[in-house]
Amino acid sequence: MVEWFGRLMLAALVALAALSGVARGQADTRPIKLVAFGDSLTAGLGLPATSAFPAKLEAALRARGYKVDVSNAGVSGDTVADGLARLDWSIPDGTDAVIVELGANDTLRGLDPKLARSGLDEIVKRLRQRHVEVMLAGMLAPRNLGAEYSAQFDPIYPDLAKTYDLVLYPFFLDGVATDPKLNQADGMHPTADGVDIIVARILPSVEALLAKVSAKRG
């Protein structure tokens, strides 16, 4: 009787271990949940949904063999403070990583750079508390705001990236800003071709972000 019971327990433990291994395998191979969290540059103002940054980024990553789902959590007009206010419900449970693209509207409104810095800092802290990997997509202040404003605003992103050991893409509009051929009539929002350039240039940084997620999964 004792021997029979021992064999039964052993079989149960083996089965449990096998199920645990399957569960771990499923978790390891599920698609990475990536959220693009930002303003109109993320939302894709003036573009069809399929031409917005998150959709084109997902397509580019999948073409490279990544199993990733990229969600669009961009809201046109958002400042850093607006993003912070909606952070908790905009980033769903189960999110693995977030690209934070905020700050352009702060500069357009001439808001105090200290507000952008403190808001971005809080966004990073909250995401880190949820064990979400973070990448900062930086912004530069328009030069017509003056050298003093730029000197306060521009270092925000590299400073935070260094403090929290984040992946940083220094300027989200690199290669696109001020080029009339790559921007819509307002001169501020990229065309579909402009988004293609953004995706191509930001891709190595996003791959570094995904590598951090994969390393965490083990």
Catalytically active residues, by annotation? 40, 186, 189
Tell me how far apart the 2 most distant CA atoms of the chain are, in Å: 87
Beta-bridged to residue 32, according to DSSP, are 68
Whether the CB-CB separation of 176 and 198 falls below 8 Å is answered with yes
Of the candidates 200, 202, 148, the one whose C-alpha atom is nearest the C-alpha of residue 170 is: 202
- The half-sphere exposure of 216 on its side-chain side, counting CA atoms within 13 A, is 13
Q: Which amino acid is at 153?
A: F
The two three-digit tokens of residue 158, written as one number:
């590299």
Count of beta carbons in the 10 Å neighbourhood of residue 98: 27
